[in-house]
């Protein structure tokens, strides 16, 4: 006969089940806590490694740009010195050749004049002498004249050689100038390429944060666009980042290194904005500049012109303008 299950047995089973559930829940909670702590630790380590790599990347780019600019400056200086030295040597050589030719020509003229004078004297003397003596003297005169003519022709040949050397020297000078200009052009292209890649990297840092930053400042912006271009006649314009809602548009100019010239250029672009983009004619237009490196007090100058300023903050960016800042509208 089977043994019946009492209420006490059911209660004991329930208590044991509840105890096992609580123990399981406690172990699960401990496991979750350990996972959370390990995740926080891993996240902090990853963030520290990202910050370190960002700093190393920025330092490497700055060093590369400095090294490249120094190499270009050294190359230009060395080429300029080499060209100056070559030009000096060529000019000295040409001057020596010119002096030697002039001296030879003068000597040839002097000798010819002396021989002509002697011949004239001989002719005059020959009038008083016999015809045979006169003929002999005339033969000597003709021989002397032929020698003088030969010397003159040699001098003329040397003058033509001098002109050829001068033309060759000018061609060599032009060739070296062309080489210097080609080297300078390649170096300029390398610097512009590096600056363009770094500028695009900075834009990709600013654009994702732009909506959040201006929403926090009270602007109900909902859309962000990069590399906005207009080609309306003479009003051609390119905007790095444009943030808009239904009545407000914020024009953001992004530079890796922000200077006062960039501020003045941004102000001119804001003056031309509604001409280049007439569909924003009824909008309130605000301006903003962003930079990873900012020259001394350039941010203050920008804010005095009514522009927001965005700076780097750790691995992100922030608006550095004060909360009570009153921006200018266009």
- Tell me the C-alpha distance between 141 and 143, whole Å: 5
Between 120 and 209, residue with greater pLDDT: 209
Indicate the range of 122-131, 264-273, 292-301, 312-321 predicted with least confidence: 122-131
pLDDT exceeds 70 at position 3 = no
- Tell me the C-alpha distance between 2 and 285, whole Å: 89
Q: Which of 201, 230, 245 is the last residue of a domain?
A: 201
Domain that holds residue 78: 8-201
Total of domains in the chain: 2
- Tell me the C-alpha distance between 142 and 145, whole Å: 5
Residue percentage of the chain with pLDDT more than 70: 88
* 3 domain-assigned: no
Q: What is the domain-level CATH number for residue 86?
A: 1.10.287
Are 30 and 151 members of one domain? yes
Q: What is the pTM (predicted TM-score) of this model?
A: 0.45
Q: What is the domain-level CATH number for residue 304?
A: 3.40.1350.10
pLDDT exceeds 90 at position 135 = no
pLDDT exceeds 90 at position 322 = yes
Q: ∠66-71-77 over CA atoms, to 5°? A: 125
- Per-residue pLDDT, 129: 67
Residue 123: band (very low, low, confident or very high) from pLDDT cuts 50, 70, 90: low
Are 153 and 124 members of one domain? yes
Mean pLDDT of the 309-328 span: 91
- Per-residue pLDDT, 258: 93
């Amino acid at each position: 006969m089977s043994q019946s299950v009492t209420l006490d047995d059911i209660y004991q089973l329930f208590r044991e089940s509840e105890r096992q559930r609580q123990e399981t829940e406690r172990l699960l909670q401990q496991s979750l806590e350990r996972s959370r702590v390990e995740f926080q630790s891993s996240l902090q380590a990853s963030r520290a490694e990202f910050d370190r790599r960002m700093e190393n990347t920025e330092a490497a780019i700055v060093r590369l740009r400095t090294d490249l600019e120094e190499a270009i400056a050294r190359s230009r200086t060395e080429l300029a010195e080499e060209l100056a030295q070559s030009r000096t040597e060529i000019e000295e050589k040409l001057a020596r050749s010119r002096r030697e030719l002039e001296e030879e020509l003068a000597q040839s003229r002097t000798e010819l004049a002396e021989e002509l004078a002697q011949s004239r004297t001989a002719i005059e003397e020959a009038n008083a002498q016999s015809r045979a003596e006169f003929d002999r003297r005339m033969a000597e005169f003709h021989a002397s004249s032929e020698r003088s003519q030969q010397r003159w022709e040699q001098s003329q040949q040397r003058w033509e050689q001098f002109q050829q050397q001068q033309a060759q020297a000018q061609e060599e000078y032009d060739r070296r100038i062309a080489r210097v200009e080609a080297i300078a052009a390649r170096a300029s292209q390398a610097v512009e390429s590096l600056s363009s890649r770094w500028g695009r990297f900075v834009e990709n840092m600013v654009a994702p944060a732009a909506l959040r930053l201006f929403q926090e400042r009270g602007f109900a912006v909902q859309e962000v666009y990069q590399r906005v271009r207009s080609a309306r006649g003479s009003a051609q314009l390119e905007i790095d980042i444009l943030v808009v809602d239904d009545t407000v548009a914020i024009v953001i100019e992004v530079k890796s290194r922000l200077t006062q010239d960039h501020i003045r250029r941004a102000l001119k672009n804001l003056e031309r904005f509604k001409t280049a983009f007439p569909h924003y004619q009824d909008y309130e237009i605000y301006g903003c500049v962003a930079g990873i490196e900012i020259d001394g007090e350039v941010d203050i100058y920008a804010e005095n012109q009514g522009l927001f300023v965005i700076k780097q903050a750790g691995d992100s960016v922030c608006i550095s303008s004060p909360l009570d800042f009153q921006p200018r509208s266009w």
